[in-house]
Amino acid sequence: MGENATTHHTNSANNGANDNQIGFKSRVSVIGSGSWGSVAAKLVAFNTLNLSSFHDEVKMWVFEETLQSGEKLTDAINRTNENVKYLPGIKLGKNVIADPDLDNAVKDANMLVFVTPHQFIDNICKSLVDKVRSDAEAISLIKGMEVKIEGPCLISTYISEQLGINCSVLMGANLANEIAEEKFSEATVGYRNNREIAEQWVQLFTTPYFMVTPVQDVEGVELCGTLKNVVAIAAGFVDGLDMGNNTKAAIIRFGLREMREFCKLLFSSVKDDTFFESCGVADVITTCFGGRNRKVAEAFARNGGKRSFDELEAEMLQGQKLQGVTTVREVYEVLRHRGLLELFPLFATVHEICSGCLPPSAIVIYSEKKNIFPV
């Protein structure tokens, strides 16, 4: 996995032998087309038009759907230059081409942007084995992790291992609709060893309204982006019960502490400074005040936990997926397997509320337990 993966992987795809020729231009493919995937395509497409080192065209893989009008979503995107279902009213750029064929969408691309709900990444990667260039670079904007019998696996690691290519990550305080409207935001690129590759991703995503900073800490950046959704669910419970801003601030602080300790539990290499980047404290704050996980968790609490998250998700998100409920279940399994649930009372309580074992009001009861970790 990581930087050396490409040296051990052979496939039938283009091996990039011509890449060292003068005038080589990178091709970018975006794998995913929800609200965040569409925004990612918009950011990237702006830069591919303006940077001579990239081909203008950006392929965006779309999981095909039929709209109420009877038109295919892909056709609607290509006709209107908008994702009319997940990001209506926002022009993506004339050089964004929606494609429902995954193999065709990644053909010839040497820069792959993964931005799908993490529940789908397993099937996507399996479909792409031997289909991507062996010299390709990937970046994951996906929040979540795969939990297997042998332990947790980060999405970036999973992509690297399945496809034999290096995978960086991009996380941050990024509410898709605000970036789509070109309101100033920032993000963090987490990379492993190759600073030059990190700078390429920074160049590809940076716009006048979107500032990107590289950090050599893939695990820290990715886990922050993953775990913040768990904290956002806790914040949503607080909002749904009208507990007030003081309680919400306390929950956010408790959540940040458990995020830091969970990251260091899994990866001792995680840097404290990472938590002060956009992927850390900034992402937690924005998600706890404006994200979809907070929104649905608030509704869950207002209904006394009597309506399931699945039901509320279907009603409120128009086909988009929650990440936090799945993530906290995965986190819970990791902690239970290691016998460490008592050390992470907030994470454990959020899962037990989501699964119906505790009422939403239990979100503050746990705080009466002894705090294990230093503030």
pLDDT tens profile 89-106: 999 999 999 999 999 999
What pLDDT does residue 9 have? Answer: 38
Catalytic sites, residue numbers: 228
Q: What is the arithmetic mean of pLDDT over 231-245? A: 97
Q: What residues does 146 pair with on adjacent strands?
A: 153
In angstroms, the CA 347 to CA 183 distance is 32
Structure confidence at residue 119 (pLDDT)? 84
- The predicted pLDDT at position 371 comes to 47
Known binder of ligand: residue 319? no
Q: Is 172 annotated as a binding residue?
A: no
Pairing outcome for strands 137-140 and 145-148: unpaired
Work out whether the CA dihedral 201, 257, 227, 310 comes out positive or negative.
negative
* Interatomic CA distance for residues 177 and 150, integer angstroms: 38
Establish how many alpha carbons lie within 13 A of residue 72's alpha carbon, considering only the half-sphere containing its beta carbon.
9
Predicted pLDDT at 71: 97
36 assigned binding-site residue? yes
Fold of 26-216: Rossmann fold (3.40.50)
Q: According to the annotation, is 304 in a ligand binding site?
A: no
Instruction: Determine if residue 307 is labeled as part of a ligand binding site.
Output: no
Model pTM?
Answer: 0.87
CA-CA distance, 83 to 33, in Å (whole number)? 8
Cβ-based neighbour number of residue 318 at 10 Å: 10
> Tens digits of per-residue pLDDT, 146-198?
766 566 789 999 999 999 999 999 999 999 999 999 999 999 999 999 999 99
Residue 2's pLDDT is what?
35
Q: What angle do CA 170, 176, 180 make, to 5 degrees?
A: 110
Task: Provide the mean pLDDT of the chain.
Answer: 90
Confidence of residue 336 (pLDDT cuts 50, 70, 90): very high
pLDDT reading at 372 higher than 70: no
Q: Which one is predicted more confidently, 309 or 149?
A: 309
> Which range is least confidently modeled, 14-23, 50-59, 274-283?
14-23
Q: Confirm or deny that 225 is annotated as ligand binding.
A: no
Where does the pLDDT of residue 8 fall: very low under 50, low under 70, confident under 90, or very high at 90 and above? very low
Predicted local distance difference test score (pLDDT) of residue 320: 78
Query: Average pLDDT of 259-271?
Result: 94
CA 272 – CA 269 distance, rounded (Å): 10
pLDDT tens for 109-142 read 999 999 998 889 999 999 999 999 999 999 999 9
* Domain boundaries defined on the chain: 26-216, 220-369
Q: pLDDT band for position 145 (50/70/90)?
A: confident
State the pLDDT at residue 159. 96
Query: Contact at 8 Å (CB) between 185 and 172?
Result: yes
Identify the band that residue 202 occupies on the pLDDT scale cut at 50, 70 and 90: very high
Assign domain 220-369 to a CATH class: mainly alpha
Annotated binding-site residue? 176: yes
- The Cα 214–Cα 203 span in angstroms is 11
Distance CA 347, CA 122 (A): 25
What gap in Å lies between CA 51 and CA 43, rounded to an integer? 13
